Structure 1
């Protein structure tokens, strides 16, 4: 049983229908139609602005690497720093809203966002860029929930859950939108244009929030000194795991001893942190609930769904980069992805019902499985247009599953009491962040291992006495002879071209294996989901005769 809250101010005189579900969240007040439209527009703007900052870095990482003269390992720290901060921020954000009020929280969060965007204007070194990326991850976390709250205020009470679906879904649209508009902003390699654009978005968000505030919420005393001890243990633990997952495939897992030390430090900090929470009288993280079978099933499903999205975030995008595609050529593909994800979010909200949430999740898995089947026959001639159908299915699935997944876990947490909400928010953020990181890390490792296998197989088959090999070398040599007068140099160039072609073919085969493996994972998740549904219905059917007696 949750303790009676200690109010820091007298709650407004709400009716039972208006009262917020939780302290720190806005009440369900009826607004005029015009005001609801304004809330919705502001919410969409904030949700997109919060994600665009990270989306711009993801879309322009190769250009940033060239701008600062970085190695791939150094460049990988830029998005890693963002995730390291973002995944831990939710440990204290929910209680911050509850104790200091939603209005004050939102305005301070936006001022911090503006301050970070201003810092971007003065970034001229790699280390300062890392510093800014870290704090961007911190300030972006509260904006995601703020955008969702504004969008929910744009709906009437009976449709507010649909607003939750749309709010969570729209936060995912920022990444494809960043890919679409990035070439327009950095076409002349002027990074100040990009930073000024982000700063302008932040200022507009602040102006909108001040002009139209969220309804006043409940303020209660929730912070304890032990909460900060927990944060001091878990936040660096999560950060260490993020660092290992990002750098492992680049440095290779067994070639860098510091990765092992970082992994040990992360695991030890998390074990101590969760152990400390387990012994607390009023814990921040409900460790006993985390061990419940229903919670473990939710963790597995949430993690697996985000991992399956690697079909898009890792396989398709990196394959096209390997084939030499540049940012301009990704614009049409990400336009398709953007609208497919948007339609997925809308479809998810329109078809919402508590009875069909599991069906929506399974439908998302089926779409990803179909996409893997469409993509598993890649060749070096594949271009972005060849991915339109498959990636639109994955994007639709991405927009479809996030709302039902969020609401399924939230409902289970609410059944346990309001004290479990912080645990659920941290859990949801961790599964989504680490699901994406582990998916990219695992598939990157698997892809590199398969490349080596195929490279060896192809090279062993390139026998100099083979007539087909000689014919290909002669074709290459004839091509280079027109510009290279020395026959020996032309022959060397021909051999180099053949080696390059064999390397490209090994890459193609390896990416096919990645997509095939992701399809197997999707099939396993689908079978597991159907089995759980069948077992739940069977158990319910067996209980009916006993209850009737």
Structure 2
């Protein structure tokens, strides 16, 4: 393939990844900005995130077999056409109900784009580069969605509000549509791989993963112990996934290999992926929500996300240049060091912290996240490719579960921890609020004095002062809670680093000091 044509395929991969990522993050990064246009509360607007994620978290599992049986070319053309139609439907959204239907359809239509972006990125590369350079660049594209969406959203909202966001998403989809039709992928021979029970197994997996996705998206908002339907969702998910596992264990050609998924090596790999995805909530949820609490809008955090974007690109090019089979543990160690250092720096924030103050810490976290994903996927994908299609599907079940569900789990755990610690710190601060304390009384008088020119009743003035003092205490308690969360993530990353180094040391000592199991016997004497 000529160099210009190879660059065109890489451009197509980037456009597909941006189309999928920007579409996935448009609502997540602009919940407070679009709720007014939809006439909904913040809690109701978060249902849009749940509606998108419910089908999206599992559909890629079915699409792998569909692509193999019906042809890659047909798969690519129909997939991108479906996404264009879903993007077009956003222009008919005028309330929450219509938005929920369209976001559900968008979640279905966006599922094939991530795999197409991966395939377009590795198409022009030599075989030896596909799982190093190609994998690194493809996964770097998938992590650029949040910073790019936050950089573009303020201007798009100013131009056209929610429909301005939808217009940009449709523009990306149309460009990707043209590139897909102009640049065909190499189509492997079609293989009949869809069995009669695949539909039943996938339906149960989709229901189980979808229920978990909805519960994790909304549990922190409605609170876990106060909404009984959250418990029913988790119970239904357990039932569906259990039935799917029973069916798959008794099939000759299963959709996924349950025994391989539950092997010690696979569980260890899944735990590593899930742990990293949880600690990366420090950036995807922590930093953005922290500044929302302090009253900052997306426009004021744009320089910060520009720094994050540059750091992700630097991490991706580092992987493309240096990542080779056998070096994954070194990349894990560097990624953990970066995340731990960034979280430690963020754990000393105050209510005077501004986006400019955390450029270094967030750059470290972004760089660490960009180092981790290519190394992790490369380490797991190569053995799966060597073992056949069933193991490829099983590997993608692990990877998708830990990245999609793991991302939601990290956000849910991080947000719930913040809520609990905020209540704790507020109760600690409130113990010192006594009007008998001259400092507290003086502070209430100062705060209430702001209303002195409109309120003549001293009792009402004092009540307003107490309200403002409670608001300040809540803000300080929230800042302390975020510091606790950042410190907890630093501890988790540090513990994981110690565990990784200990594991590598044990393996090294075992290889060095364990004697050979057998020694050649001396020849018998005549």
Distance 1:103 1:476, change over 3 A: same
CA distance in 2, matches of 1:374, 1:358: 24
Q: Is the 8 A contact 2:35 2:42 kept in 1?
A: yes
CA distance in 2, matches of 1:253, 1:464: 36
Structure 1: runs of 5+ lacking an equivalent: 1-30
Report Cα offsets for 1:457-476 as digits up to 9, x if no partner: 11111121112212212322
Match of 2:396 among 421, 425, 429: 425
Report Cα offsets for 1:379-438 as digits up to 9, x if no partner: 111111112111111111121111011111112323433321011112101101121111
Matched, 1:49 2:24: no
Match of 2:32 among 62, 71, 74: 62
Matched, 1:95 2:65: yes
- 1:389 is matched with 360
Shift of 1:227: 0.5
Report Cα offsets for 1:171-222 as digits up to 9, x if no partner: 2112210110011111155322221221121111111111111122221111
CA distance in 2, matches of 1:356, 1:218: 34
Match of 1:150 among 96, 99, 120: 120
Shift of 1:542: 4.6
- 2:306 is matched with 335
Shift of 1:539: 3.2
Shift of 1:130: 1.2
**In structure 2, the residue corresponding to 1:225 is in which secondary structure?**
coil
- 2:332 is matched with 361
Deviates more, 1:149-158 or 1:362-371: 149-158
CA distance in 2, matches of 1:540, 1:106: 47
Q: Is the 8 A contact 2:281 2:407 kept in 1?
A: yes
Matched, 1:118 2:75: no
Shift of 1:547: 6.7
CA distance in 1, matches of 2:506, 2:110: 40
Q: What TM-score do the two structures reach when normalised by structure 1? A: 0.91
- 1:351 is matched with 322
Shift of 1:544: 6.3
- 2:504 is matched with 533
Matched, 1:376 2:352: no
Q: Is the 8 A contact 1:245 1:438 kept in 2?
A: yes
**In structure 2, the residue corresponding to 1:461 is in which secondary structure?**
coil
Report Cα offsets for 1:285-322 as digits up to 9, x if no partner: 10000111110110000000110101111221111101
Distance 1:119 1:547, change over 3 A: farther
- 2:198 is matched with 227
Matched, 1:467 2:438: yes
Matched, 1:276 2:252: no
Match of 1:207 among 163, 178, 192: 178
- 2:485 is matched with 514
Matched, 1:76 2:46: yes
List aligned pairs for 1:101-180, cutoff 5 A. 101-160=71-130, 161-180=132-151
- 2:221 is matched with 250
**In structure 1, the residue corresponding to 2:186 is in which secondary structure?**
coil
Structure 2: runs of 5+ lacking an equivalent: 521-526
Report Cα offsets for 1:62-86 as digits up to 9, x if no partner: 1222221222322111112222111
Match of 1:488 among 459, 462, 468: 459
- Counting matched residue pairs gives 519
**In structure 1, the residue corresponding to 2:40 is in which secondary structure?**
coil
CA distance in 1, matches of 2:13, 2:412: 33
**In structure 1, the residue corresponding to 2:58 is in which secondary structure?**
helix
Shift of 1:129: 1.1
Distance 1:485 1:154, change over 3 A: farther
Report Cα offsets for 1:270-297 as digits up to 9, x if no partner: 1111111111111011000011111011
Shift of 1:245: 1.4
Report Cα offsets for 1:305-345 as digits up to 9, x if no partner: 11010111122111110111112112111111111111111
Matched, 1:193 2:164: yes
Q: Is the 8 A contact 1:154 1:163 kept in 2?
A: no
